[in-house]
Structures are given as structure tokens and as C-alpha cells.
Amino acid sequence: MAGLTRGRFLTSRGALHFSTLRDPSGSARPLVFMLHGALRQAEHLADWAPVLKDDFDVMLCDLPGHGLDPAEGEPTVNGYANRLYEVIKYFNRPSVILGESLGGLIALGPASVHGEAVVRST
């Protein structure tokens, strides 16, 4: 994944491992969390980062037990959805979660569990 930097956030449910083109901490751009499907990893989504980088901070996330993310903490759909929610709360700015296959199922989690705290229309 040329040009991408690896990182991780520690949450109460386990770590969220990701790759990104730039550190999202010093930005006000909306965040896009991209989640891969089963038996894949963050690097399979790397082509999306340069497409979205001008308007968003893109975080390509490894699901528990995939890529460089060990299956630690609570490696379940709900556990991972809660990890994402903690990171969204930490950044406290507009965020979008995109997922393919298993990643799409996990992407539904923060909205279904935390409702209006995550889903807002403008």
C-alpha cells in the first residue's frame, strides 16, 4: 500500500487498525471509514484512498483477525461496530462508514445501536 501509513486506535473494545494517507487528527475534513469483506484486508481497498483524499480523510480499516489486526478484544460484529463508534466520537466530526460484504454488516452497527448520535441529516 504505497503512500499509506499504518496506525491504530485503542478503544475499550480492542484496537482499530487502519491505513491512511495522512494523519486525520489535525483535520476538519469528514472521515470515511472503509471496511473490507470477509477473508480480505485493508490493502484491498487502497485504490479508494487517492480518489477520496481531496475531500475526506480516509481510514482503511482491518477487521479483527484480518490483515495486521489480531482477533483481540471482542472480535464480533457488535464489538467492532462499537470500536468504530468510539473512534467516531473521539474525532467528533462528520463521518461515513462504507463496507463491503462483512464490512457492510459492521457499518450498520453504529447507526442501529447509537441511532441519532451517529445518523444525522443536513
User: pTM, whole model, 2 decimals?
Assistant: 0.84
**How sure is the predictor about 122, in pLDDT bands with cuts at 50, 70 and 90?**
very low
Say if 78 falls within a structural domain.
yes
Say if 83 falls within a structural domain.
yes
DSSP 8-state secondary structure symbol assigned to residue 45: G
Domain that holds residue 72: 5-117
Asked whether the beta carbons of 34 and 58 are under 8 A apart, the reply is yes
Reading the block at residue 81, the C-alpha cell is: 461496530
Reading the block at residue 20, the C-alpha cell is: 491512511
110 Cβ contact list (under 8 Å, min separation 6): 81, 82, 84, 85, 88, 97, 118
If one counts the domains in the chain, the total is 1
Say if 14 falls within a structural domain.
yes
In this predicted model, which residue has the larger pLDDT, 16 or 71?
A: 16
When pLDDT is averaged across residues 55-64 and rounded to a whole number, the result is: 90
Instruction: Measure the CA–CA gap between 54 and 57, rounded to whole angstroms.
Output: 8
Task: Give residue 47's pLDDT.
Answer: 93
Instruction: Measure the CA–CA gap between 99 and 109, rounded to whole angstroms.
Output: 11
Say if 122 falls within a structural domain.
no
CATH number at residue 36: 3.40.50.1820
